[in-house]
Structure formats: structure tokens, C-alpha cells
């Protein structure tokens, strides 16, 4: 019986083999390079010829004068992205779920989903033009109301919120589609019973729709917490400048300057290892909490 079951699943395992090899080659083999975090790495000497210095790179990292500010920028921007990035697609999905004109619903889905496929290199140039204090359309519209031009990408007061809004604008279309798919799994008979009991649309949403979306909301939030330190290098690198380092410099951009521009590969690897460990702890904690509070498991 066991041999028949194994034989029946052999084609499935063969189908998984290419994906397994890709993950092995591109995700696990490079993990050997983690040892660079504990070395004074010199490219000429290679991975096994560089001097072992233990925790020295981590001490150097913590002693950097800007490290605490960079860590705060990373956590604050990431937290705002996670919170706003969860609320907006949920609200939009609930609103689209109430639309009865299929053509309008599909048109809106396409329009809000389109920015998700564009890279930040393209969107960065678009945002720089749109938010320009001299000729950008946003500041021109603000001028109609007598508001002075705002330097969204050059002001420490405005840069973090600009990053959050632009990130949500680009990404919320994908999450909206996920939540709309989750809505289709809710049993329609629950709504019929609620109508018989006299529940209006708001009460149906509050007592049926939102509880039905809880599992996928927990899943999306858990996955987001695993990337809390990955604020979005592509976005910030294409939009920030030295004038907003105080509020916009994050761990990834710091690693770029240290590792590639200053050739301090050991310190840059130490930062990456630190990020990975923190992300692992956060996603494990979030998974455990969601399992205990909502009895929700991913695996």
C-alpha cells in the first residue's frame, strides 16, 4: 500500500524537482557566504583565506553614530507600510465586493493592479516629476488652494509619509485581488440568513464578511512581518537623496553604501545577517500568535 502511494506521487515529485533545485542553488548555496560577517573579507584572498575576526563587524555596526537613526527609520517606515498596506486593500476589497456592475468592477481591478507590475525605476521617475516643487502636478494643484509648494522628496518631514503612500499605491492592487478571492470562499447562505434576520449591509460586513476574511488577513500580516526590515530598497534608493538621510536612510541603503561604495563587505554581510535573524524571530512569533489566537496555521 505504501509502495503504491509512493509510486503514485513520483510524477508530482519530479514536477517539484526543478523548483527544488532553483531554491537550493539560489537560496541555500549562497548562505555559505554568511561567514563573511565574521571575517575581514578581502576579495583577493577569497572566502576561506580572509582573516576571522568574530563579532568585530557587529560591534563596528552598533558603534556607528547613525545606526540607531537608520534602525528607527527602517522600523517606523516598515510599520506604517504594513498597517496602511493592510487597511487600504481590505477597505477597497469590501467596496468592490458591493459593486454589482461587473464591467466597472473589473475595470477598477485592472487599474489598481497595473502599478504592481511596474518597477521602481519607472515609478521613481514618474513620482519625481509628479511631486516636483517647481512643475509637479501635485504642487500645482496645491497652489490653486493657496498652499506653498512642498518638497515631498527633499524634506525630512514629508519623505517617510511619501514613501508609505507611494508604496501602498503601487502594492495595494495585488492585496486587493487576494482579499477579493478570499471573499468568494464565504458561504452565501450566511448572507441569506442574515437578511432574514434583518441585518443590513453594514451588519453583514461586520459579522460575516470581516470574520470570513480573518484567516487570509492573518496570513498576509504574518508574511508582512517577516519583511519588516525590508522596507524597500528599490523604492527608497530611486527616490532619496543626501538631504533626507536623517529620515529616509534605511538599513538596505546603508548596506549599499558600506558594502558596495566603501567595499566593507564584512560589515555589510553582518547587517544582512542581523536582518535575517530579526525577520525569522518576527515571523515565527507572528505565526505562533496567530495559531494561538485564531487557530490559524499556514502549514
To which residue does cell 533545485 refer?
21
Residue 259 CA to residue 254 CA, distance in Å, equals 8
Within a domain: residue 88? yes
Q: Is residue 93 part of a domain?
A: yes
What pLDDT score was predicted for residue 293? 65
Residue 22 lies in a domain: no
Assess if residue 246 is contained within a domain: yes
The predicted structure's pLDDT at residue 296: 60
Lowest mean pLDDT among 52-66, 150-164, 273-287: 273-287
- Number of domains the chain is built from: 1
Q: What is the pLDDT of residue 288?
A: 76
pLDDT digits (tens, 9 = 90+) for 96-143: 888 888 888 889 888 888 888 888 989 888 898 998 888 888 888 988
Which tens digit of pLDDT belongs to each residue from 199-242?
Answer: 888 888 888 888 888 888 887 887 777 667 777 788 888 888 88
Q: What gap in Å lies between CA 273 and CA 259, rounded to an integer?
A: 13
Query: Which residue has cell 460575516?
Result: 208
**Residues 167-180: pLDDT tens digits?**
999 988 888 988 98
Conformation bin of residue 118: beta by default, left when phi > 0, alpha when psi is -120 to 50: beta
Element (H, E) at 95: helix 67-97
Q: How much is the pLDDT for 89?
A: 92
CATH of the domain at 146: 1.10.3720.10
Neighbours of 163 (CB within 10 A): 26
In the numeric block, the cell 548596506 is attached to 255
Assigned C-alpha cell, 282: 518576527
Q: Which residues does 251 contact at the CB level (< 8 Å), separation at least 6?
A: 70, 71, 74, 229, 231, 271, 275
Cα angle 134-135-139, degrees, rounded to a multiple of 5: 80
Identify whether 24 is part of a domain: no
Strand partners, 40: 51
Q: Which residues contact 195 (CB under 8 A, 6 or more apart)?
A: 204
How far apart, in Å, are the Cα atoms of 253 and each of 66, 67, 236, 282?
Answer: 12, 12, 8, 22
Domain interval for residue 107: 65-294
Residue 13 lies in a domain: no
Predicted pLDDT at 298? 56
Q: What is the pTM of this model?
A: 0.80
The three grid cell numbers given for residue 94, joined into one nine-digit string: 469590501
- What grid cell was written down for 277? 535573524
Amino acid at each position: 500500500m505504501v509502495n503504491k502511494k509512493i509510486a503514485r506521487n513520483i510524477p508530482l515529485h519530479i514536477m517539484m524537482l526543478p523548483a527544488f533545485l532553483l531554491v537550493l542553488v539560489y537560496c541555500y548555496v549562497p548562505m555559505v557566504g554568511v561567514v563573511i560577517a565574521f571575517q575581514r573579507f578581502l576579495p583577493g584572498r577569497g572566502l576561506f583565506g580572509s582573516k576571522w575576526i568574530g563579532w568585530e563587524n557587529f560591534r563596528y555596526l552598533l558603534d556607528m553614530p547613525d545606526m540607531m537613526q537608520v534602525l528607527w527609520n527602517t522600523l517606523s517606515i516598515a510599520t506604517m507600510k504594513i498597517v496602511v498596506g493592510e487597511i487600504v486593500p481590505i477597505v477597497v476589497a469590501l467596496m468592490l465586493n458591493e459593486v454589482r456592475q461587473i464591467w466597472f468592477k473589473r475595470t477598477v481591478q485592472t487599474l489598481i493592479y497595473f502599478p504592481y507590475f511596474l518597477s521602481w525605476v519607472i515609478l521613481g521617475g514618474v513620482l519625481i516629476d509628479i511631486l516636483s516643487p517647481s512643475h509637479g502636478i501635485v504642487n500645482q494643484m496645491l497652489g490653486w488652494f493657496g498652499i506653498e509648494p512642498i518638497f515631498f522628496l527633499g524634506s525630512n518631514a514629508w519623505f517617510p509619509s511619501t514613501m508609505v503612500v507611494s508604496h501602498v499605491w503601487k502594492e495595494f492592487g495585488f492585496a486587493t485581488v487576494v482579499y477579493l478571492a478570499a471573499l468568494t470562499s464565504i458561504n452565501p447562505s450566511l448572507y441569506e440568513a442574515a437578511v432574514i434576520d434583518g441585518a443590513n449591509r453594514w451588519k453583514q460586513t461586520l459579522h460575516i464578511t470581516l470574520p470570513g476574511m480573518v484567516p487570509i488577513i492573518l496570513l498576509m500580516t504574518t508574511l508582512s512581518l517577516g519583511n519588516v526590515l525590508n522596507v524597500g530598497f528599490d523604492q527608497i534608493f530611486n527616490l532619496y537623496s543626501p538631504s533626507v538621510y536623517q529620515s529616509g536612510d534605511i538599513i538596505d541603503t546603508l548596506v549599499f553604501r558600506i558594502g558596495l561604495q566603501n567595499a566593507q563587505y564584512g560589515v555589510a554581510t553582518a547587517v544582512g545577517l542581523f536582518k535575517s535573524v530579526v525577520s525569522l524571530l518576527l515571523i515565527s512569533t507572528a505565526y505562533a500568535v496567530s495559531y494561538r489566537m485564531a487557530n490559524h496555521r499556514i502549514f
